[in-house]
Structure 1
């Protein structure tokens, strides 16, 4: 890892009847991983990006996916290669 990496986790809440379509649309976004989901439309999403503004843009994109009710940032960490131990 040569440059810092931002890692964020979100709780995304979608309309349950549109969950499959929402997941399909989310999988199209780069740097996004789906980790958990419930039949009630709640999903845990992890984002990875080089720049913090990419995380913010991705959250906005997620919020604008049809069927998404809310996307809430739960955790954000910056992994700095200068702090890595080799």
Structure 2
């Protein structure tokens, strides 16, 4: 199991759309947001390939300006 914590940055006008898009991705949960365009996100996936694909999907989500990985842990299954 891989668990990652991210800050995802978008424009304030895009917060709701990005929040919905990220919430639709498997293994992704949005925990909070700020009015300046930051979202606090966690990702849980089995295996390195799956987590890498999910992180790439977040980065490629429409209106996402940047992502910052702030936490990652790989747990033994």
TM bracket (short chain): over 0.9
Q: Is 2:40 aligned against 1:41? A: no
Query: In the alignment, does 2:27 pair up with 1:26?
Result: no
In angstroms, what is the RMSD of aligned CA positions? Answer: 1.0
Structure 2 gap segments, 5+ residues each: none
In the alignment, structure 1 segments of 5+ residues that lack a partner are: 82-86
Compute the displacement of 1:72 (Å): 1.6
Matches of 1:61 and 1:27, distance apart in 2: 12
Aligned to 2:57: 61
Matched pairs, number: 77
1:59 deviation in Å?
1.2
How far the C-alpha of 1:79 sits from its partner, in A, is 1.7
Q: How far did 1:33 drift?
A: 0.7
Q: Who is 1:79 aligned against? A: 75
TM-score under structure 2 length normalisation: 0.92
